[in-house]
Amino acid sequence: RPIDQLTIWDDAKAMIRKARAEGIETVHERLDQQTPHCKFCELGTTCRNCTMGPCRVSEKKPRGVCGADADVIVARNFGRFVTGGAAGHSDHGRDLIEVLEAIVEGEAPDYKITEEGKLRTIAGEIGIKEAGRDIMDVAKDVMECFFADFGSRKKEVSFLSRVPQKRKDLWAKLGMTPRGVDREIAEMMHRTHMGCDNDAPNTLIHAARTALADGWGGSMIGTELSDVIFGTPKPRMSTANLGVIKEDQVNILVHGHNPVVSEQILAAARDPELLARAKELGASGINLAGLCCTGNELLMRQGIPMAGNHLMTELAIITGAVEAIVVDYQCIMPSLVQVAGCYHTKFIDTANKARFTGAIHFDFQPRTAMQQAKEIVSIAVEAFAERDAGRVEIPGEPIEIMTGFSNEAVIEALGGSLDPLIQAIVAGDIKGAVGIVGCNNPKIKHDSLNVGLAKELIKRDILVIATGCVTTAAGKAGLLVPGAIEMAGPGLKKVCGSLGIPPVLHYGSCVDNSRIMQLCAALANTLNVDISDLPVGASSPEWYSEKAAAIGLYAVASGIYTHLGHPPNILGSETVTNLAVSGLEDLVGATFFIEPDPVKTADLFEERINAKRKGLGL
């Protein structure tokens, strides 16, 4: 396909052109090779859950060998899909609990409890006594409570304490209360074994429960403990796009999700000895930049610049100026090893659960974190000598962005409570809010919908909250600076202008969608209504991953009207599709809607928000 159809960005276009000139294959060529995709798989009507099959069902052959019909097969496939996402986020959350455990046990010399106050607040929220107790004792109890959230002995995960009672009662009635993270994940694998849950709606209810265990369990634990250990984000300025890669420096890109690794790489990149060695080799410094969600983690807390989102990861290496790409897990295209192999770039993986053939491997551990991080940075520094200056091309100048909007920071900016925000909503200056979250997908022109929808919404005085890969898109479009109020409607312009904040707020990585859930719950609790009564929405316009599906489903199950730019592989079942786009309204007070056009999407959000405002008497 012509380059102009692939992306809206000049930096991306320049690098795709360079890749083609140098004969390097990217995601776009591979998508072309894979198109057309299998029609049965697209519809969700294939099953490989046993060896009587695999089966493909259709009108002509409506049942698999075991007798499962399209409804059962689609529901099982979607259930497992969501569960994969919930497992990814939640296992990331578990890694943070393990770091907290190592801190408590004195076995993580390079990590500490940075936010004692936040840890005490969390303890209070989950029913652990903290007043007058030593912080390490509190940390131990919090750690044990969160580990227990993963098991099966609890009636509900701890952070359900944040959820409005009405919503909790509804979940209890529907059998949707998340009891334990691992429990719901394991139960979904059980239910979808041949001969178990053969009632599509029942399977989907459990899919929602598994997603809720992610949103109010694993992800929320991940976010909150990351804040406790690395600091709660505060507003600050940074930059984004490939221009953040520096021609005269050793460039290290961190990619993946977990700040446990990337925070240590950042600290090691500031080591004076390594800096001296970099200078000896002719570099003027060591430059760290982020990709995807671990980039968001470092951006939110440390202001580290963002090189790009999902579809920029291959292209960042193609600048020819990247000495090392250091990855942990999730959303790391295996192709990066091959792309790195076309240059002097070292590809370094750090997690035993996410190894890449051909990578330099580190089994990154809390006990040895800094020493390992220094070794990794040293590999990058030495690679500078191998760089081929003739192949370096860094497109574009970095764009300014404002980041660091945690709920704590927002409340502080509002003067200590959510009241001014509620007043702005009541007055109609802010009509409502939509979280735009998630990914890129090469099937959709890169960032066209992410940016298009954000612009359309702020024009209509709808505040946008961005996380995940949407962040970089919004940033590059100039939407993450206070000056972006010029693109907003008059009400939003007035409110954001007076607070000095952008009309699109960067709320963090994908696990940080839990911050948005917490904000919605807090608003609902303040107003004494359910989350489904709020004038809010969620969207993932260019989503691709299992994790995005889990996020979408926990948003809907929490009562938030949720947009997807393209459908999941469920259209082969009318029952499942109808439930997703309409039937869920009666159950949980919200549905999914699928719409590829950003203007129509904004219309639908506006309609919904106006209806919710009316419901609240506004």
> Which spans of this chain sit near ligand BF8 (rule: CB under 6 A)?
257, 292-293, 309-310, 331, 438-439, 468-469, 509-510, 545, 547-548
**Residue closer to ligand SF4, measured from CB, 57 or 242:** 57
**Residue closer to ligand BF8, measured from CB, 200 or 315:** 315
**Residue closer to ligand BF8, measured from CB, 15 or 291:** 291
Rounded-to-integer distance, Cα 599 and Cα 117, Å: 43
Rounded-to-integer distance, Cα 253 and Cα 244, Å: 10
Residue for token digits 């691709």?
A: 544
Q: Helix %, strand %, coil % for the chain, to 5?
A: 55, 10, 35
Task: Please say whether the beta carbons of 419 and 524 come within 8 A.
Answer: no
Least distance from ligand SF4 to the Cβ atom of residue 192, Å:
9
Residue 66: name its binding partner from ligand BF8, ligand SF4, none (Cβ under 5 to 8 Å by kind): ligand SF4
**Residue closer to ligand BF8, measured from CB, 301 or 547:** 547
Residue 54: name its binding partner from ligand SF4, ligand BF8, none (Cβ under 5 to 8 Å by kind): ligand SF4
Residues 6+ apart with CB under 8 A from 206: 79, 175, 184, 187, 188, 191, 197
Task: Please say whether the beta carbons of 176 and 212 come within 8 A.
Answer: yes
Chain centroid, CA 550 distance in Å:
11
Residue for token digits 């929602």?
A: 208
Site for ligand SF4 in 11-70 (CB under 6 A): 47-50, 52-55, 64-66, 68
**Residue closer to ligand SF4, measured from CB, 52 or 237:** 52
Q: What is the DSSP string of 117-152?
A: HHHHHHHHHTT---TTS-HHHHHHHHHHHHHHHHSS
Query: What single letter denotes the amino acid at residue 75?
Result: A
| Residue 447 structure tokens | 């960032």
Least distance from ligand BF8 to the Cβ atom of residue 165, Å:
31
**Residue closer to ligand SF4, measured from CB, 66 or 604:** 66
Exposed/middle/buried for residue 561 (C-beta within 10 Å: 0-12, 13-18, 19+) = buried
| Residue 502 structure tokens | 């952008």
Rounded-to-integer distance, Cα 219 and Cα 232, Å: 16
Least distance from ligand BF8 to the Cβ atom of residue 311, Å:
9
Site for ligand SF4 in 210-269 (CB under 6 A): none
Residue 439: name its binding partner from ligand BF8, ligand SF4, none (Cβ under 5 to 8 Å by kind): ligand BF8
Our finding on whether 568 is near ligand SF4 (CB under 6 A) is: no
**Residue closer to ligand SF4, measured from CB, 47 or 488:** 47
How many binding residues for ligand SF4 (CB under 6 A)?
14
Least distance from ligand SF4 to the Cβ atom of residue 51, Å:
7
Site for ligand SF4 in 69-98 (CB under 6 A): 73
Residue 118: name its binding partner from ligand BF8, ligand SF4, none (Cβ under 5 to 8 Å by kind): none
Residue 47: name its binding partner from ligand SF4, ligand BF8, none (Cβ under 5 to 8 Å by kind): ligand SF4
Least distance from ligand BF8 to the Cβ atom of residue 439, Å:
3
Our finding on whether 194 is near ligand SF4 (CB under 6 A) is: yes
Residue 188: name its binding partner from ligand BF8, ligand SF4, none (Cβ under 5 to 8 Å by kind): none
**Residue closer to ligand BF8, measured from CB, 101 or 542:** 542
Exposed/middle/buried for residue 282 (C-beta within 10 Å: 0-12, 13-18, 19+) = exposed
**Residue closer to ligand SF4, measured from CB, 64 or 491:** 64
Rounded-to-integer distance, Cα 463 and Cα 499, Å: 13
Rounded-to-integer distance, Cα 602 and Cα 222, Å: 31
For ligand SF4, the binding residues (CB under 6 A) are: 47-50, 52-55, 64-66, 68, 73, 194
